[in-house]
């Protein structure tokens, strides 16, 4: 999943971004409202962590534009993260389209939990554990298991698998994977996505004896549970 942290406190924004990257998310940072809007036009972010007090455009206005302007994806989740703690500010933020509201200062574990909760809304049932047959991915504990066996994955492999399991049965192009699983620091001409899909597929096959990831020639990849793939 690809996230955008919008906060003019550069040290805080960097710390939050780094913490979320350690959990496998692809994270970009914007220090102004205009920078955030410019990035949102170009990149399909799954979630925006949005401060309200920005040096140019107020965060409330940024959120309103995300929800009403056709240039932006209205399904992008918005978590307002701000020092404004009045009831009026919270109501205004939620009324303008925010999905959740977190007051500074906050504990990183709570921020992580709220991010997971918002991103789970895209998955079937919105559960903390994603399932594909007997394969289970626990988003909270960052664990992947087959029956009772833990499958060891790198952080990026975990993030890629989470995206696959959130979009089971869909054909996902390499471009879409790059947009949602990697951040802007990645060279767009790299073969990183193909290589990571390959290593993930081999690890899953070695642990389960099953092929979860199908290559769709000319289009990308499709992730399916074994009982679906074997029909």
Q: Verify that 133 and 61 share a domain, yes or no.
A: no
Tokens of 162: 């989470």
Put simply, whether the predicted model's pTM sits higher than 0.85 gets the answer no
- What per-residue confidence (pLDDT) applies to 142? 82
Question: What per-residue confidence (pLDDT) applies to 19?
Answer: 92
CATH number, domain containing residue 138:
1.10.10.10
Q: Is the Cβ–Cβ distance between 81 and 105 less than 8 Å?
A: no
Q: 174 and 80: one domain?
A: no
What does the pLDDT read at residue 9? 93
Q: Is the domain of 104 the same as that of 156?
A: no
Domain count, the chain: 2
DSSP 44-69: --SEEEE-S--SSS-HHHHHHHHHH-
The answer to whether residues 179 and 217 belong to one domain is: yes
The boundaries of the domain holding residue 146 are 124-229
Q: Is the peptide bond before 34 cis (omega within 30 degrees of 0)?
A: no
Do 77 and 140 fall within a single domain?
A: no
Domain endpoint, select from 102, 120, 138? 120
SS3 label, residue 18: helix
- DSSP letter string over 104-134? SS--HHHHHHHHHHHHHTTSGGG-SEEEETT
pLDDT of residue 126: 53
Rounded to whole angstroms, the Cα distance separating 132 from 214 reads 14
Last residue of a domain, one of 89, 120, 151: 120
| Rounded average pLDDT per 10-residue block, the chain, 231 residues | 93 93 89 94 90 92 91 89 88 90 91 88 63 87 89 90 91 88 69 88 93 92 73 41
Residue 228, pLDDT score: 46
Cβ neighbours around 152 below 10 Å, total:
10
Check residue 100 and give its pLDDT: 93
């Amino acid at each position: 999943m690809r996230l955008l942290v919008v906060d003019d406190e550069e040290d805080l924004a960097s710390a939050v971004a780094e913490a979320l990257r350690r959990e496998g998310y692809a994270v970009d940072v914007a220090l102004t409202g205009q920078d955030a809007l410019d990035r949102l036009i170009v990149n399909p972010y799954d979630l925006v962590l949005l401060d309200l007090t920005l040096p140019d455009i107020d965060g409330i206005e940024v959120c309103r534009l995300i929800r009403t302007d056709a240039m932006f994806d209205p399904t992008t989740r918005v978590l307002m993260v701000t020092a404004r703690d009045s009831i009026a500010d919270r109501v205004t933020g939620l009324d303008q389209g925010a999905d959740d509201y977190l007051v500074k200062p906050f504990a990183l574990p709570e921020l992580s939990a709220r991010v997971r909760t918002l991103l789970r809304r895209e998955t079937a049932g919105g559960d903390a554990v994603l399932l594909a047959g007997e394969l289970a991915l626990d988003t909270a504990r960052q664990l992947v298991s087959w029956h009772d066996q833990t499958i060891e994955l790198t952080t990026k492999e975990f993030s890629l698998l989470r995206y696959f399991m959130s979009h089971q049965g869909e054909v996902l192009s390499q471009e879409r994977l790059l947009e949602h699983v990697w951040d802007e620091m990645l060279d767009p001409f790299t073969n990183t996505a193909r290589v990571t899909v390959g290593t993930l597929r081999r690890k899953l096959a070695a642990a389960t004896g099953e092929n979860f990831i199908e290559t769709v020639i000319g289009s990308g990849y499709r992730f399916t549970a074994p009982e679906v793939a074997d029909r």
